[in-house]
Structure 1
């Protein structure tokens, strides 16, 4: 299908919670195809639908050679103590900050046919599951940073050429 452009921090769609997907609704297979094509670009671990301008609850992932998608994901389990992990975001290009994440995460959702999908993992997969689910809830990772780091991140964002 299509590699879609990524919306950047400051775009209102990134600050709005996405709507649940109605399985079987027109255009959902095309959305999934676009998410899959977009996440396959080099250096991408995940793409949420609102990052490509669609306010629906779906994301694709590309972690350790495993590429897939999930519709209507909800985090159903996290484990361990939150740790600060260097994290970046396609919607905040060129910047990365220590972000509090659980070392294990599990999400549950469905595929385009309504079949249950469960994704879980540690490390980068856990980070991606939390990061993309946050996007679908209208939260860009820089808003989850500790206060001093968030101030630093927002100042750096304002100085980026892409922000203006």
Structure 2
């Protein structure tokens, strides 16, 4: 699915923000300010392979996991925080454990595909239908450089594909219909327009 969490339509926040505890809401808003938004050139750039597995990378993954958690997301790519590394973090449940994939490579994807709504922390207010393979096999490394093979289906497969797209500078706007793209651009303009200062 997407960067953001939802129960049915992938991409939305798990519960309305008004219901969030004020401290949690403040943490979420602070986290979202650190996520690069549509229009930032880094979101259209291809990330670079990691060749150094050190404490700095472990810290980077930990920071990304914390930011994703605070932002109520279920996936985050390094490019979304302005870091040009082929690193992503994800989880399939709001309180689930965070998995990290470094230098992920899609080895195989199923012929059967499914359309579902996706949102993105970098595209506030946007939710579009995206068709993706239902099953994928991805080879990657963890933050310590150990090989990982992930065989994922359904939501997990969708999240991984969404975040891998980010590492290649691809957004959900590129994978939806022309009509949905036009509506999304309208929603984005509204969401990203600076609010007038209160008198």
Do they superpose with TM above 0.5?
Answer: yes
- Superposed, 1:21-60 pairs within 5 Å as 21-24=50-53, 27-41=56-70, 43-60=72-89
CA distance in 2, matches of 1:162, 1:25: 40
What value does the CA root-mean-square deviation take over the aligned residues?
Answer: 2.2
Partner of 2:114: 83
Larger radius of gyration: 2
Which deviations, in whole Å up to 9, do the C-alpha atoms of 1:39-69 show, x marking residues without a partner? Answer: 2226311000001110110000011324210
Secondary structure of 2:116's partner?
A: strand
| 8 Å contact kept, 1:58–1:72 | yes
- Residues 16/45 of structure 1: CA separation in 2 closer, same or farther (3 Å cut): same
- Superposed, 1:66-105 pairs within 5 Å as 66-105=97-136
Between Structure 1 and Structure 2, the one with more strand by share is 1
How big is the shift at 1:93?
1.6
What runs of 5+ residues in structure 2 fail to find an aligned partner?
1-30
How big is the shift at 1:163?
7.6
What runs of 5+ residues in structure 1 fail to find an aligned partner?
none
CA distance in 2, matches of 1:38, 1:136: 18
Count of matched residue positions in the alignment of Structure 1 and Structure 2: 163
Secondary structure of 1:9's partner?
A: coil
Q: Which of 153, 157, 168 is the matching residue for 1:137?
A: 168
- Residues 89/78 of structure 1: CA separation in 2 closer, same or farther (3 Å cut): same
Partner of 1:153: 184
Between Structure 1 and Structure 2, the one with more helix by share is 2
For normalisation by structure 2, the TM-score amounts to 0.74
